[in-house]
Amino acid sequence: MQRLIARARAGRMELALFAGAFGALWLVAVLLRQDATRISYAAHFVEQARSWLAGRMDVPTWLGHDLVQVGGKSYIVYPPAPALLMLPFVAVLGAHFSDIWFTWLCGALNVALLYHLLQAMAARGWSRRTPRENAVIAVTFGFGTIALWLALGGTVWFTAQTLAITFTVLMLLGAVRHNWWMASAALGALFLTRSPDILGAAVIGAMMLAYYREKTDRQARWSGAPCAADDVHREVKLPARNNNPSGLMRDTTDEIWIRLRAVPFRAWVALAVPFGAAVVLWMVRNQLYFGHPLSSGYDLQIQQDYPQIHYGLMSWHYVWPNVVVDFLNMPSFSFKTPYDVNPLGDLLRGGNGTSIFFTTPLFLLFFAPARSHAPRWLRLALWVCVALLVGFTLFWNLTGWYQVGARYLFDAYPYLFLLLAMRGERLDWRWLALACLGALVNLALANVFWCRNGACLGNHLTLRWLAFDTLLAAIPLGYIAAWLWLRKEASSLQRHAAIPRWHGEAQETALRQPRANGGDEEIGQQQTICRQLAHQKRAETQGMRATEKARQIRPKGGAAEGLRGIAHHQGDEDVRAEAGGRQQPG
């Protein structure tokens, strides 16, 4: 019972973030006239759940969007995980269930889970962010990016993307905690939500190899080695590299093989079983729906609904238009006459949306150099995941239309925000200004997308317009309050600067970071035990060296004087007693 109470107290910030994020999403959605008492206009997952409860696999044809006709019946092409999660809600609530508020729940949960993940990263020593900084980063993720307008109105596309972020964060959390069962289960759920997102599994492999290699190194170098708590910042030293290409390839292959052999069999089982079950479920569903275990339905969809796509699902022909939409497309303005003083802004850009740097200005920080406190292998693994997801998006046959932001890049946002958190700069007024700008931009994008550029708010004298303008004005005030909140925390840390610092970055981080949950407390206990054992081992080693030196040294004054001199030099009481015993007459 006490353990549950301790966990509840440790999760107060997560609970507050979840409740606050859900309330904020509800408020914005109500202002933009999103009716959560009904399903959205593209509630494919809700209808799929209802069909399963009725004993059918096909869905009604009135859905219209993204359906494949097989044998005179309509099937959705999207993976089944969202419909599976909605199944108990639909069974209990029936017609009262809505995918709109379900998406609100997922969006609010993403904010709380990201904060929990950032705290776990800080507990590992991979980030120096304080709990308040992590809270600001998590809130910015939920409201200062395209996550805001994606989570407001449900629909099959945006619900799947929002839920995919939930599973991505759970996968990363399992990998950070070295819980491979959890990481693999979340990876399987991610595969059944948005299949291309499994490219992020590269970070699981990197964390697994690094964890077991470092664990093996600590066991092999236990005698006189530094504490394992300090190894979180130590890069694994690779063997000497050969200069010729063949030797370099051979050394790299040997190192990878050494790392793979360090991983125990039970870890491979934990990683393979849950994800393998998800793959089997995916293949069975494809066989039942489309007649082939490897056909996801997208190939049939292109043949039936998109004959204008000439280069298949993926091709290099799609790279340039995707680059323009994802990175170069900025808002445009139009003038009715040369003397028009009220130009009209266009945030939709024909339904292709705007650049990632416009919707999330924080990503401009990556162009500025900054030191990071995370291991190099971890940063490299996260950038590899980002590169894989962005590369897949660039070669995909569609840009994400209809949208106001580059939503296909949203799958890479969790990895990018972890990289932002691991950067060395503090959350100063510049960082908060960019975050505030992102929140203002995405609230305006939500208004354009869901409210038809303010048409649902009425004229500018209505109460809805007043509430919306008040919300816009509250965003800068909120970030000013966050700046003062962080400054208060920084001054509190400065007052504790007189406390003697421990050696090592991991211990300094532990001084600044409170343990967030039971898992982190366990890590702290293991580090403490490790320090005690290492100290005991060094003391035993010093004692053995002193005894060996006493046996070898035989000065002219006799063994007693030699032992007495060694005892005086080293302060060994046992040697003093031995010297005194030999001096007595027999």
pLDDT tens, position by position, 374-410: 899 999 999 999 999 999 999 999 999 999 999 999 9
Q: Which two tokens stand for residue 453?
A: 């550029």
What pLDDT score was predicted for residue 103? 97
Residue for token digits 């060296």? 545
For residues 249 and 313, the model is more confident at 313
For residues 514-531, average pLDDT: 50
What pLDDT score was predicted for residue 549? 58
User: For the chain, which residues make up each domain, given as ranges?
Assistant: 2-240+249-508, 520-583
Q: Which two tokens stand for residue 82?
A: 């969202």
What pLDDT score was predicted for residue 457? 77
What pLDDT score was predicted for residue 244? 54
Distance in angstroms (rounded) separating the CA atoms of residues 546 and 422 = 45
**pLDDT of 278 strictly over 60:** yes
Q: Establish how many alpha carbons lie within 13 A of residue 279's alpha carbon, considering only the half-sphere containing its beta carbon.
A: 11
pLDDT-based confidence at 538, cuts 50/70/90? low
**pLDDT of 511 strictly over 50:** no
pLDDT-based confidence at 341, cuts 50/70/90? confident
User: Helix, strand, or coil here: 399?
Assistant: coil
pLDDT-based confidence at 543, cuts 50/70/90? low
**pLDDT of 298 strictly over 70:** yes
Among 6-15, 76-85, 563-572, which stretch is predicted with the lowest mean pLDDT? 563-572
**pLDDT of 433 strictly over 80:** yes
Q: Indicate the pTM of the whole model.
A: 0.81
CB within 8 Å of 288: residues ≥ 6 apart: 57
For residues 224-245, average pLDDT: 46
User: Helix, strand, or coil here: 554?
Assistant: coil
pLDDT-based confidence at 578, cuts 50/70/90? very low
**pLDDT of 527 strictly over 70:** no
Tens of pLDDT, residue by residue over 551-575, are: 555 444 444 444 444 444 444 444 4
Residue pair 229/527 in contact by the 8 Å Cβ criterion = yes
User: Helix, strand, or coil here: 252?
Assistant: helix
502 phi, psi to nearest 5 deg = -75, 160
What pLDDT score was predicted for residue 138? 97
- Percentage of residues in the chain with pLDDT exceeding 70? 76
Q: Which two tokens stand for residue 470?
A: 């008040």
The chain-wide mean pLDDT, for the chain, equals 83
What pLDDT score was predicted for residue 232? 42
What pLDDT score was predicted for residue 336? 85
Distance in angstroms (rounded) separating the CA atoms of residues 300 and 314 = 14
What pLDDT score was predicted for residue 220? 67
Distance in angstroms (rounded) separating the CA atoms of residues 164 and 159 = 8
pLDDT-based confidence at 260, cuts 50/70/90? confident
For residues 93-104, average pLDDT: 95
For residues 58-68, average pLDDT: 88
